[in-house]
Amino acid sequence: MHAAARRLLPISLCLCLVIAAAPPQQVTEVDRLLASMTPAQRVGQLFMVSVWGPELPINGQRFIQQTAPGGVVLFESNTGSPASLARFTNALQEAAAGGGLPPLFIAVDHEGGLIQRLKDDNGFTVFPVGQLVTATGDPADAAAVGRAMAEELLAVGINMNLAPVADLETNRENPVVARRAYGSDPDMVGRTIAAFIEGAQEARLLAVAKHFPGHGATTQDSHTGLPVLDHDAARLRAVEMVPFQYAADAGVAAIMAAHIWFPNLEPEEGRPASLSYPVLTGLLREAMGYQGLIMTDALDMNAIDRRFFYGEAARLAVQAGVDLIAFGGQVSLEDQQAAIAEVIQAVEDGAIPQARIDESARRILETKARFGLLRWSPVDPDTAAARMNVAAHQRLVADLFPRALTLVKDDGAHLPPRPGAHEPARVPDVVRRHRHRLPPPDARAAARRHPLRAGRGRPRACGRCGALRRDHRRAHQ
């Protein structure tokens, strides 16, 4: 044997031993699921679809089996009693199982306050607005609310809550967020929503922080048009994005992107954050290091559907780095199927790499595995209401109100009341100032002094001249 060959032999033997000793790479359940799915089914996993009505019709079953969506978003048309809702979510999951598909995300907007799809007249707890939860000053209250919501939603088969709102109330004129935000202080809101997320997700309900990178400073509602916000990245990182970083650090399952154009982040005119690669991949995924699911707000909001066709918007979203594309409750099954088909065609044409689809499909399946959703079993409709534990949650909510009471101003140091002080109730200045406006008995005098005011049974007065309505024509002749 050549001398050089003899020197290499021990090295070769060592390499063989190292390779032989290395354990084989474990094939996970996610690996097996992904390998069993067709390219079209992998695309389908990137969509959160909607179906109309409280029962799943035959065409709805076929739609789910043909499109293989990753999840379904519920709207008011789908709601009902706990028992009927449990039957509906069971039917959705059975349709997916019948097509050999992974179990579905089943999501609903259940923020508390104004936006809560599941109402008290159907037996659900009415949870308070986020600002009240923040006002108690104790993040443990937010965690308790998150757990309580999880208990009610999971009891009826819903496994994803499109909450909390991570936007800040930085603009009182905001028509859509001001009533839904947890507050205006970035760190205070961040701590509160992080606790809410942890409470919900400890109970295995997925939470979704929205609307990245922040909707609170806009003056327009993205349901009715495309808001434009000129904040630069430095301002956003210092203010609007702070609660989202808290949410990411808390392990939030998903972050929903806003349909807002940020010209300082996205150079293409009119391209909203929900379809923007610099915002979603550059800022959220890379700069912030977020590894969870990125999803869009609903594509049938006017900020999107007045500028893009559904299929076009879905393709742009995937190219921007979105994992889940959400449809609202007003989009037909045919339009949703056409949009999914357009993304499939983009993959076949090479406009979207198959690796990009596989990346999101894997992330979706891994999230389902993380929350135990790949082992689905039906919920019992007959016991759903009892398992919701509504009485306990109503006591929780009742306890929040007195502890959220916040003193805004007390220049006279009247609060808390001093022992032994029996000061008569003060009439507010605003009432004293307007006492002279109370109408005197004489209706004609009242009409002259208060042209827009008339008591019951008294003739109305003209706002221009003060004349009684019955004298109105004569007064203006």
Residues with a known catalytic role: 297
Comparing CA positions, the residue from 429, 468, 433, 473 lying closest to residue 448 is 468
Q: List the structure tokens of 19.
A: 């390779």
What CA–CA distance (Å, rounded) separates 281 from 275?
10
Cα distances from 241 to residues 168, 268, 288, in angstroms, run 9, 22, 10
For residue 45, give the 3-state DSSP assignment.
Answer: coil
Comparing CA positions, the residue from 339, 356, 401 lying closest to residue 128 is 401
What are the b/e assignments for 28-63, b being 16+ CB within 10 Å?
eebeebbeebeebbbbbbbbbbbbbeeebeeebbeb
What CA–CA distance (Å, rounded) separates 140 from 133?
10
What CA–CA distance (Å, rounded) separates 413 from 371?
51
What CA–CA distance (Å, rounded) separates 313 from 65?
23
Q: Please report the beta strands in 34-133, taking only residues with DSSP state E, as ranges in sequence order.
A: 47-49, 71-74, 105-108, 110-112, 115-116
